[in-house]
Amino acid sequence: MVAGIEAPQLPLSSENYCIVKVAVPVPLRRVFDYLLPENYPITPQPGMRVQIPFGRTTKIGIIDEVESLDHSDLDTQLEKLKPITQILDDSPLITESLISLYRWMGQYYHAPFGEIWQTLLPTALLKGKPAKLSRSSRWTITDIGRESLESGKLAKSAVKQKLILEQLIKNPTGIAHDKIKDFDIPYSSLKNLAGKKWVSRDYITDNDKNIASQVNLPSDIQLNDEQLSAIETVSQHLDRYTAFLLFGVTASGKTEVYLRLIQQVIEQQRQALVLVPEIGLTPQTLRRFEQRFNVSVVTLHSGMSEQQRLQSWLKAKNGEAKIIIGTRSALFAPLKNPGIIIIDEEHDLSFRQQQGFRYSARDVAMVRANLEKIPVLLGSASPSLESLSNVSKGKIKQIELTQKAQNTASLKYRVIDLKNQPMNQGLSADLIKSIKQHLQQKGQVLLFLNRRGYAPVLLCHQCGWSSSCQRCDTHYTYHHQNDYLQCHHCGSSRKAPHQCPQCQCDQMVPVGLGTERLTESIKHLFPDAKTARIDRDTTRRKSAMQDFVSSVKAGEIDILVGTQMLAKGHHFPDVTLVALIDMDGALYSADFRAPEYAAQLITQVSGRAGRADKPGEVLIQTHHAEHSMLHQIIHSGYGEFANSALNERVEAELPPHTFLAMFQAESPQMAHVKYFLADVKQILDRYSNLKVELLGPAPAVYVKKAGKFRYQLFLQTSSRNQLHQLLELTLGDIEKLKSASRVRWRVEIDPVGDS
């Protein structure tokens, strides 16, 4: 259903009209003009949705601008332009500062306006659903219900009803209606009880929660001097824009600093927006926020239904939600009374959108905070070189936390040089010995391997045939448990062959090591230890990660094998040994950012050891034990590494010292891609007076993906202005290129990685 008021039938006469410029969800960097009679009952404003005829269909678009008709040319315009079908909102969906942000993003990213809106607004609104908050409700037990249960009036067979009543007694403030299913309570039993008046359902707004004390301060935490000074510094800037980098070693209590600042923001009746890399992976963080504050905390992430997201979004907009926690796109939540933006693990790649409209949530957050006149706080133990470079340029103020909050013992690192070492299923004798020792001392062990599946290749022992994805020119990964092959680039999969498709022999051998195989060897080597594996394959179920985290904390797991999912902000107090099984691939890669990513990964993974009172040890297995990055991280810390890496980027004239943009084109026909980028280059070359260097076109790192060939043309410059000028001057012509219609292409600003 679509909300709104039907536009009156337009008699195309001399009546007064205005022109409404509409952003439409199509991949074009332009808006479309429509007519609206001036006596339409709703005054059109930027940020309202409209229904419009578009080609042979109707679409929902967003008003970008409103202009009056050019009266010198009235007739042609009335003839050429179509009227808007209806306006769907009676006020703009987003605040003025977000409209300004939208305009800034259009200019900075040179992206199609419709695509930007698709990122800005919840899907439900893009589909035309009304921007209406549905009231939430809570179930509580009534006095009658309590008495009836106590006096044994409930039939013995009513097991479910008994469970409900017991749960409601355990939760004296009631259970939210949308949480009922988490308790495994069938709705029919609940309705039965309501019929008997044993339970009741009350409708509430989140404002009802903002009563009495808003904070539950933990009694066991005495902030240390560094934390106090960090809080003090930021809180002096709560009334204006300032960007901060909280560079705090792992387990230094950064989250505690966020919580205290948010407390101040809430006390000022304002809202805090917190971005985290992946909520599903860090259920603990979310719970810490919910437990600390008795105010409405809402989440925004892709694991939620469209309606749930819309509800959170609307509560942010009307000010009911005091804390909004979400992933990347939560950055665009409208805020009635913005107070602070916090980005936890700011180095994390998930803050970069890699599909559709490509933006960096970290960069856009700084612009948004500036528009809202509030501080933005970026936190990490391994900050991005971009942010550290901004610190040295004076754009970001750095605050440091140098000590762990609970454990003053420093981590003991050891690099295990694998050269010429006998290996047992990917494990050196040294590592096996250490695992034994830590298990004996009742420490938990965490083994990190960034490759899921059983083995990266399945090979025929007789003829050498290997399993590869035809669509990507890469090997299929072998997954043993369900016996299939999967391409980790395009996602395609098939049953694993038991006979070689080429020579028909039955000697298929898995080559290389993935988490599934590593887990198998660990179980074999340590049969008495309880081993668990955490990767995308074992955490598909919604609460899986939460269950793993709980079992680790409860000491039900001795050895944890996992991918980078393990690196993300977990607090496991009993982990004493962390081992990085294979760092070779991460040290050598075609991406100039590879050393930075590897250093961040080592810092984060290592940071899972020795967080509470037990000392921690970190073992790194590699064939490149002499690698300078490893030595810097181990002996001087991430900061030292970052300094020298930044110097290298200056010498190599790479970001963040310079700025990059990229044209990428793809097509099943390699020639089409090459023709198009050659044409692009020719157009860009017309402006050789601008100081922008062109590099390429060259194949992408993975030149073939999902059946398409991908090539790239890079634009490098030390002047952002000149780069934007060049794009401004040329994109119109590039869009009109004949060769452009035969490929899929995009321009990307500050591109990251290969996607």
Ligand X SMILES: Nc1ncnc2c1ncn2[C@@H]1O[C@H](COP(=O)(O)OP(=O)(O)OP(=O)(O)O)[C@@H](O)[C@H]1O
Q: Which residues bind ligand X (CB under 6 A)?
A: 221-224, 227, 248, 250-256, 381, 405-406, 569, 571, 607
Pick from 171, 254, 251, 260: which is nearest to 217 by CA?
Answer: 260
Smallest distance, Zn ion to C-beta of residue 472, A: 3
Q: Is there a contact between 504 and 465 (Cβ–Cβ < 8 Å)?
A: no
Query: Is 500 flagged in the annotation as binding?
Result: yes
Block residue for tokens 């005495």: 222
Query: Is 505 flagged in the annotation as binding?
Result: no
Phi/psi-derived region of residue 110, left when phi > 0, alpha when psi is between -120 and 50, beta in every other case: left
For Zn ion, the closer of residues 431 and 469 by Cβ is 469
Among Zn ion, ligand X, none, partner that 471 touches (CB below 5 to 8 angstroms by kind): Zn ion
Query: Is 460 flagged in the annotation as binding?
Result: yes
Chain residues 465-494 in contact with Zn ion, contact rule CB under 5 A: 469, 471-472, 487, 489-490
For ligand X, the closer of residues 140 and 264 by Cβ is 264
For Zn ion, the closer of residues 487 and 723 by Cβ is 487
Among ligand X, Zn ion, none, partner that 256 touches (CB below 5 to 8 angstroms by kind): ligand X
Question: 68 pairs with which residues across the strands?
Answer: 18
Polymer length of the chain:
755
Contact between 24 and Zn ion per CB under 5 A? no
Smallest distance, ligand X to C-beta of residue 378, A: 12
Residues in Cβ contact with 355 at an 8 Å cutoff, skipping those fewer than 6 apart:
755
Among Zn ion, ligand X, none, partner that 383 touches (CB below 5 to 8 angstroms by kind): none
Query: Is 18 flagged in the annotation as binding?
Result: no
Smallest distance, ligand X to C-beta of residue 594, A: 22
The backbone torsions φ and ψ at residue 648, rounded to the nearest 5 degrees and listed phi first, read -60, -40
Contact between 129 and Zn ion per CB under 5 A? no
Q: Closest residue (Cβ) to ligand X?
A: 253
Smallest distance, ligand X to C-beta of residue 604, A: 7
Question: 468 pairs with which residues across the strands?
Answer: 475
Residue 663 and residue 736: Cα distance in Å, rounded? 15
For ligand X, the closer of residues 287 and 736 by Cβ is 287
For ligand X, the closer of residues 45 and 406 by Cβ is 406
For ligand X, the closer of residues 380 and 739 by Cβ is 380
Smallest distance, Zn ion to C-beta of residue 708, A: 11
Among Zn ion, ligand X, none, partner that 405 touches (CB below 5 to 8 angstroms by kind): ligand X
Among Zn ion, ligand X, none, partner that 252 touches (CB below 5 to 8 angstroms by kind): ligand X
For ligand X, the closer of residues 252 and 600 by Cβ is 252
Buried b / exposed e along 517-553 (16+ C-beta atoms within 10 A):
bbbbbbeebbeebebbbbbebbbeeeeebbebbeebb
Among ligand X, Zn ion, none, partner that 136 touches (CB below 5 to 8 angstroms by kind): none
Q: CA dihedral defined by 110, 113, 118, 120, rounded to 10 degrees?
A: 80
Smallest distance, ligand X to C-beta of residue 381, A: 5
The backbone torsions φ and ψ at residue 715, rounded to the nearest 5 degrees and listed phi first, read -115, 120
Smallest distance, Zn ion to C-beta of residue 467, A: 11
Looking only at the bridges linking them, the beta strands covering 32-37 and 17-23 are: antiparallel
Smallest distance, ligand X to C-beta of residue 250, A: 4
Among Zn ion, ligand X, none, partner that 730 touches (CB below 5 to 8 angstroms by kind): none
Residue 157 and residue 71: Cα distance in Å, rounded? 79
Q: How many CB atoms are located within 10 Å of the residue 482 CB? A: 10
Smallest distance, Zn ion to C-beta of residue 470, A: 8
Report long-range pairs for 147-154 (Cβ below 8 Å, ≥24 apart): 148/196, 148/198, 149/198
Among Zn ion, ligand X, none, partner that 342 touches (CB below 5 to 8 angstroms by kind): none
Residue 281 and residue 566: Cα distance in Å, rounded? 8
Contact between 587 and Zn ion per CB under 5 A? no
Residue 566 and residue 570: Cα distance in Å, rounded? 7
Contact between 708 and Zn ion per CB under 5 A? no
Buried b / exposed e along 307-344 (16+ C-beta atoms within 10 A):
ebbbbbbbbbbebbbbbbbbbbbbbbbbbeebbbbbbb
For ligand X, the closer of residues 248 and 697 by Cβ is 248
Give how far Cα 700 sits from Cα of 55, 492, 714, Å: 35, 20, 11
Total binding residues toward Zn ion, as defined by CB under 5 A: 6
Smallest distance, Zn ion to C-beta of residue 495, A: 16
Q: Is there a contact between 26 and 118 (Cβ–Cβ < 8 Å)?
A: no
Radius of gyration of the chain (CA): 29
Among ligand X, Zn ion, none, partner that 250 touches (CB below 5 to 8 angstroms by kind): ligand X
Contact code string over 414-453 relative to Zn ion, x by CB under 5 A: ----------------------------------------
For Zn ion, the closer of residues 487 and 677 by Cβ is 487
Query: Is 503 flagged in the annotation as binding?
Result: yes
Report long-range pairs for 482-486 (Cβ below 8 Å, ≥24 apart): 485/458, 486/453
Smallest distance, Zn ion to C-beta of residue 469, A: 3
For ligand X, the closer of residues 248 and 326 by Cβ is 248
Q: Is there a contact between 321 and 271 (Cβ–Cβ < 8 Å)?
A: yes
Among Zn ion, ligand X, none, partner that 158 touches (CB below 5 to 8 angstroms by kind): none
Please confirm whether the linkage preceding 44 is cis (ω < 30° from 0): no
Handedness of CA 120, 122, 127, 132 (dihedral sign): negative
Smallest distance, ligand X to C-beta of residue 598, A: 18
For ligand X, the closer of residues 256 and 617 by Cβ is 256
Among Zn ion, ligand X, none, partner that 490 touches (CB below 5 to 8 angstroms by kind): Zn ion
For ligand X, the closer of residues 320 and 345 by Cβ is 345
Q: How far is CA 301 from the centre of its chain?
A: 8
DSSP 8-class letter at 522: H
Give residues in contact with Zn ion (CB under 5 A). Answer: 469, 471-472, 487, 489-490
Binding residues for Zn(2+): 460, 463, 469, 472, 487, 490, 500, 503
Binding residues: 460, 463, 469, 472, 487, 490, 500, 503
